[in-house]
């Protein structure tokens, strides 16, 4: 007996690898926006908002989602208990984070905003472009909220 790859004899399309899909989506975003974003072999795309906020788009370990991350604050030292309480209030219930979450990078004083998009494989560049714009605008909003809190 011979075995064949799924879809080879039935005419079904085999699903594209997540990294290929991510690269296709970023290429489509580039075409829509005129940007020159690139995805490395580890599934990482580094970008910066027009206001200079560092951001990344990462193929998540489970390969079924993309993780959007924005560095929204950096302080001189570790946050005080009062600052932590205020950050947790902003984070509570996901209401002010659009279902995403705020986190502190371990061993640093850097606050980040994360948002996970899943499943992303069936999407297109226009959808990702809209999501990125919403994410960027909200990251700027959260940066301002966190600045007020700390």
Average pLDDT over residues 107-126: 87
Asked whether the predicted pLDDT for residue 2 surpasses 80, the reply is no
Residue 67 · residue 60 · CB < 8 Å: yes
Residue 73 lies inside a defined structural domain of this protein? yes
Strand pairing class (66-74; 54-59): antiparallel
Which domain does 128 fall in, by range? 18-149
Q: What is the pLDDT of residue 14?
A: 62
8: number of Cβ within 10 Å: 10
- State the pTM of this model: 0.83
Q: Dihedral of the CA atoms 68, 74, 78, 79 (nearest 10)?
A: -80
> What CATH number has the domain bearing residue 106?
3.30.1460.10
99 and 115 Cβ atoms separated by less than 8 Å? yes
The total of structural domains in the chain comes to 1
Instruction: Judge whether 4 lies within some domain.
Output: no
- The neighbouring-strand residues paired with 46 are 56
- Please indicate, yes or no, if residue 1 is contained in any of the structural domains: no
> ω before 119 within 30° of 0 (cis)?
yes
Give the pLDDT mean for 59-85: 86
């Amino acid at each position: 007996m011979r075995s064949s790859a799924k879809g080879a004899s039935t005419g079904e399309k085999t699903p594209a690898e997540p990294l290929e899909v991510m690269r296709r989506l970023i290429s489509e975003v580039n075409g829509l926006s005129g940007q020159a974003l690139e995805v490395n072999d580890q599934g990482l795309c580094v970008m910066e908002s027009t206001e200079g906020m560092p951001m990344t788009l990462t193929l998540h370990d489970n390969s079924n989602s993309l993780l959007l991350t924005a560095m929204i604050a950096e302080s001189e030292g570790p946050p005080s208990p009062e600052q932590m309480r205020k950050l947790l209030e902003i984070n509570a219930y996901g209401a002010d984070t659009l279902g995403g979450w705020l986190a502190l990078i371990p061993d640093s004083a850097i606050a980040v905003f994360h948002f996970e998009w899943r499943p992303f494989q069936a999407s297109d560049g226009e959808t990702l472009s809209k999501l990125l714009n919403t994410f960027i605008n909200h990251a700027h909003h959260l940066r301002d909220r966190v600045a007020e809190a700390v």
